[in-house]
Chains A and B, each alone.
Chain A
Amino acid sequence: MAEVPEPTHRRRSHAGTRDLERYAGLFAERTGVMRSSAMRDLMAITARPEVISLAGGLPDTSTFPPQSFAAQMTRIAQESAAKALQYGPTEGFEETKDCILEVMGAEGMLPDPDDIIVTTGGQQAIDLVCKTLIDPGDVVICEAPTYPGAIPTLCSYQADVVQVECDEDGMQVEVLEQLLADLRAEGRRPKFIYSVPSFQNPAGVTMSLERRHRLVELARAQELLVVEDNPYGLLRYGGEPMPPLYQLDGGDFVIYLGTFSKILSPGIRLGWAVAPPPVMEKIVLGKQAADLCTSTLTQYFVREYFAERRWQRYVGDLVEIYRGRRDTMVEALRDNFPAEATWTEPEGGLFIWATLPDYIDTSDLLAKALRADVAFVPGQAAYVDGRGSHSMRLNFSGVNEDEIREGVRRIGKVIAEQVELYGALTGEQALPEPRQDPAPNVLPFRKAGEAG
């Protein structure tokens, strides 16, 4: 081989200001709405090992048996190395789709395999749906609060995001109806309604059966697409299973997004979308342009794993672990958060949404919390318009029960300091109201327009 000269030094960003202006002139318009934020800078600190992070959305991968992982990977190496290292079909392997059918079947859904595309995580599924449907300025409706990770995606396609408040029964579909009427009066038709109906990220709430039916009816009557994102459906710790919107609708107006991240591993980056054939055709073209195909290696891994027929038992194990962690967090919140705080008590999923008195800004609180070595996600991350500043998202799946107790205790302590200080500032003693019993119908949300 010919001699290649040693690179002299690693190039880092060293753009002078003039250079920068030169680049800035080249940036696409959409980058203008792709924002970094103070919050992102603060979150950089949460990576310190001494910080108990209730901020992430991490499933607990430490429970996956390493021997089993080793055996599966060995089988792939011995039996299918060449194929597992090769490109694959854009839509994904049929065998992966069989696994997806099993997972969806566990929640009562039976889609046509041709309507499924395997994606690089659920996040790519969101991206591909946006890529397929959104032109700059198009209205997209989502919940308030909504999945923080969906916001940058929607914004990068320059959607006009409108958020509909949730309560303990999920998105307020009656508010949605009014919004749709208002939009119609303006001659605007939303491209789709994005919802996480079960154990919502970040709020932890689940859409009631009645609202599910109503939402699906609305979609049919007005020929609107609903994008149902259901990463947590199988992680239920209490209450009755709810039919997914996809099942109620039959797949005509509901695009369904699923993922292996929360029931197996986020590291394998495997998710999927189910869409009506004409939409799927465009999604496949979009996927082809984006990355040709999803990792064949991890698709092989899922196939080997499902062949062992133990995946439901593993999900059952996770459910047991997470149920205990949820209970621990709820108990810790009762013991450590002030009487004025409210929080959701999710029947599944990974998150609790807590709302504090309106004089506490949770981004500022995070700065204080980080000094006490604990982190959470400030509520503003779940809104496009700066609301949510008195709320926070707390994750209970990624850390053990001791850490949950200690983490919530630390957050409770910094909140108590703020409450006491505010009392001293206003001359009002923080009212030690008798704590409301954690009735399941506690309203943890501010009504539309009320939040500041």
Chain B
Amino acid sequence: MKVAVLKGGRSLERGVSLRSGARVEDALERLGHEVLPIDVGPDLVKRLAGERPDLAFVAMHGVGGEDGTVQELLEILGIPFTGPSAAACARCMDKVQAKDAIEENGLPTPHWFAFNQTAFREFGAADALGRLEETLGFPLVVKPSRGGSSLGVRFARSAGEVPQALVSAFSYDDRVLLERFVDGRELAVSILGDEPLPVVEATLLEGDRYDFEARYEIGRTRFDVPADLTAEEHRAVVDAALGTYRALGCTGFARIDLILGEDGPWLLEANAIPGLTDTSLLPQAAEAAGLSFEELVERILDLALSPQGVS
């Protein structure tokens, strides 16, 4: 099969994407496929139209590749592709949309408020900050609505730290959210087709949060797969993750990140194109389920070619 691997692009996670892409290409070659690596740029449509691959493996992260843009083009060109549909990608990428959908489906996600820049620039939203800080409490988390790999995520420990955190978050997106901080264990549930893979727990070995560096460096974070959970905890976590996956309309695969607090799981976000680098969580989860990276890639291809993204 001729498989185009879409990677790179202009997003801030370009570097991560190139690493994911290279790994996928290698696996595809070993599986005997014809590989067409594409560093996504202005010639994307022309190249896809000219080369007519049987399938596109989307190994892009962040804006452009994970937000439905590329998926939309692939749908128009009629080229089957891996991972969720354009619409589902768009929902996952935008944390505000995702949290709305999660909440509408009766699933727990930490309380939040979302603002765009205009609210502050033109409508004096700053005057509402005091009230919402009271509701959310401190510390609170400030995040760009769209963005991955923890870029621009800041913790504010007091009201004085909120404006600066907002300025940082607004560097990555025009919309940001302020979210209640939930203390607990950091878990990630990768879902392949409609099967949950073993739950991964990330424990930071140094520093106080799981940031960009920790995500992509060996030895800074300890990953436990499968996470040490009671049967009850496991069920609650997996149910919450599957519920989120369906609420967002995901097919193929996705990774759901959540916090397991004392009062149960709290859903944070869904990643439509989880990282596939050698420190990424989806490959780790697959391996714990007995799937080698090649088998994982093969399965992702099968799902992309089956009608409902489920086989």
Determine which residue in B124, B278, B284 has the highest number of CB atoms from chain A within 10 A of its CB, and name it.
Answer: B278
Chain B, range 147-175, C-beta contacts under 8 Å to A: 149, 151-152, 162-164, 166-168, 170-172
Q: B219 near A: Cβ within 8 Å?
A: yes
Q: Is the CB of A37 within 8 A of B30?
A: no
Give Cα distance in the complex from A3 to B150, angstroms.
52
- Judge whether B167 and A418 touch: CB under 8 Å: yes
CA gap between A32 and B218 in the complex, in Å: 9
B25 partner residues in chain A, CB cutoff 8 A: 12
Tell me the minimal C-beta distance from B276 to chain A in angstroms. 11
Q: Is the CB of A16 within 8 A of B292?
A: yes
Known: A17-B287, A20-B278. A367 touches B171 (CB 8 A): yes
Give Cα A44–Cα B61 distance, bound, in whole angstroms.
15
A-B contact count (CB 8 A): 115
Of B166, B279, B283, which contacts A425 at CB under 8 A? B166
Across the interface, which residues of A come within 8 angstroms of B127, CB to CB?
Answer: 427
B163 to chain A, nearest CB (A): 4
Number of interface residues of B (CB under 8 A): 48
Interface of B is mostly: helix
Residue A77 at the B interface, CB < 8 A? no
B2: interface (CB < 8 Å): no
Given contacts A14-B293, A20-B279, A420-B121, contact A359 B284 (CB under 8 A): no
Q: Which residues of A contact B287 (CB under 8 A)?
A: 16-18
Contact of A367 among B22, B124, B172 (CB under 8 A): B172
* B residues in contact with A421, CB < 8 Å: 117, 120-121, 166-167, 170
A364 pairs with B14, CB closer than 8 A: no
Within 8 A of B (CB), among A1-55: 9, 11-18, 20, 24, 27, 32, 35-38, 40-42, 44-45, 48
- Measured CB to CB, the nearest residue on chain B to A426 is B163
Bound: A45/B63 CA distance, A: 14
Q: How far is the CA of A367 from the CA of B15 in the complex (A)?
A: 14
Is A302 part of the binding interface, using a Cβ–Cβ cutoff of 8 Å?
A: no
B117 cross-chain contacts in A, Cβ below 8 A? 421
Whether A45 lies near B10 (C-beta < 8 A) is yes
Which of B16, B168, B172 has the most C-beta atoms of chain A within 10 angstroms of its own C-beta? B168
Whole-angstrom distance between the alpha carbons of A36 and B12 in the complex? 15
Separation in Å of the B103 CB from the closest CB of chain A?
26
Taking the complex as formed, is A361 at the interface, i.e. its CB lies under 8 A from any CB of chain B?
Answer: yes
Residues of the A chain whose Cβ atoms lie less than 8 Å from the Cβ of B279: 20
Contact A364 B171 (CB under 8 A): yes
When distances are taken between beta carbons in the complex, the residues of chain A under 8 Å from B16 are 41
Given the complex, which residues of B lie within 8 Å of A48, measured CB to CB? Answer: 10
Question: Is B29 an interface residue, CB under 8 A from the partner?
Answer: yes
A303 within 8 A of B: no
Could you tell me the distance in whole angstroms from the C-beta of A420 to the nearest C-beta in chain B?
7
Given known pairs A418-B167, A425-B120, the reply for A44 and B14 (CB within 8 Å) is yes
Shortest C-beta distance, B13 to chain A (Å), equals 7
**Size class of A's contact patch?**
35 or more
Interchain nearest-CB distance for B209 vs A (Å): 13
- A-contact bits for B20-33, CB 8 A (1 contact / 0 none): 00110111011000
The answer to whether A24 and B171 touch across the interface, beta carbons within 8 angstroms, is no
Q: Is the CB of B151 within 8 A of A427?
A: no
B216 x A36 contact (CB < 8 A): yes
Q: Does B236 contact A (CB under 8 A)?
A: no
**CB-nearest residue of chain B to A11:** B26
In the bound complex, CA of A311 to CA of B212 (Å):
46
A17 to B26, CA, bound (A): 16
B217, A36: Cβ atoms closer than 8 Å: yes
Known pairs A32-B219, A364-B167; A15 contacts B121 (CB<8 A): no
CB nearest to A369 among chain B residues: B171
The reply to whether the CB of B54 lies closer than 8 angstroms to some CB of chain A is: no
Asked whether A16 lies within 8 Å of B167 as measured between CB atoms, the reply is: no
Provided the pairs A32-B219, A367-B172 are in contact, do residues A14 and B27 lie with their beta carbons within 8 angstroms? yes
Instruction: Contact check, B12 vs A42: say whether CB atoms are below 8 A apart.
Output: yes
**Residue B213 lies at the interface, judged by CB distance under 8 Å to chain A:** yes
A126 on interface, CB distance cutoff 8 Å: no
Q: How far is the CA of A42 from the CA of B15 in the complex (A)?
A: 8
Residues 228 to 278 of chain A near chain B (Cβ within 8 Å): none
- Could you list 29 A-B pairs, sorted by A, with CB under 8 Å? A9-B29, A12-B23, A12-B25, A13-B23, A17-B287, A20-B279, A38-B151, A41-B12, A41-B13, A41-B212, A41-B216, A42-B12, A45-B15, A361-B164, A364-B172, A367-B172, A370-B12, A420-B121, A421-B117, A421-B121, A421-B167, A422-B164, A425-B126, A425-B129, A425-B162, A425-B163, A426-B126, A426-B163, A427-B126
Query: Contacts A40-B15, A367-B172 given; 13 further ones with Cβ under 8 A?
Result: A11-B26, A12-B22, A12-B23, A12-B26, A27-B218, A36-B217, A44-B15, A48-B10, A359-B167, A361-B167, A424-B126, A425-B129, A426-B163
Task: Across the A-B interface, give the 3 residue pairs with the lowest CB-CB distance, nearest first.
Answer: A41-B15, A364-B171, A425-B163
**Which residues of A pack against B, CB within 8 Å?**
9, 11-18, 20, 24, 27, 32, 35-38, 40-42, 44-45, 48, 359-361, 364-365, 367-368, 370, 418, 420-422, 424-427
